Structure 1
Amino acid sequence: MQKMSDADLMRLVMQKHRPALEELYDRYIKLVYSFALKSTIDEQQARELSRRYLSACGPQKKGYDGEQRAVC
């Protein structure tokens, strides 16, 4: 799964494929946490914001458009 594109992984996530979601989480948690920590300067708050952000980026009923490149 490590060589799959984000778009391919999101297609699997939309089908409730948990390993695909875990791969995306692993790819982006450090980046999201880094931004959150710089914004809050509080480790606990940064962890919570990172978790909430990545949870909000999960599958939506409308689906995922990899060409849109939108941030959640």
Structure 2
Amino acid sequence: MSRSLCLTLIAAIGTMVLLYVIGFVGNIDFLIFRISLSNTEIALLPIVVGVIVAIVGDRIMKSKSLE
């Protein structure tokens, strides 16, 4: 796996985990991942933000490699 892909994945997953932890600690409904026997609730905002961070990070890495 290339270095830029590795760093991009770490940034995206780290952002998602951080937002889920903030939602859990602060009891913020749109940032919480809940699992129960009857249903599973997944907040999509941390996933969307993580994907955006990955895209921006990838573009930054590509622009730095061109210089």
What band does the TM-score fall into relative to the shorter chain?
0.3 to 0.5
Which of the pair is proportionally richer in strand? 2
Question: So what's the TM-score if we normalise by structure 1?
Answer: 0.42
Which of the pair is proportionally richer in helix? 2
Q: Rg larger in 1 or in 2?
A: 2
Question: So what's the TM-score if we normalise by structure 2?
Answer: 0.44
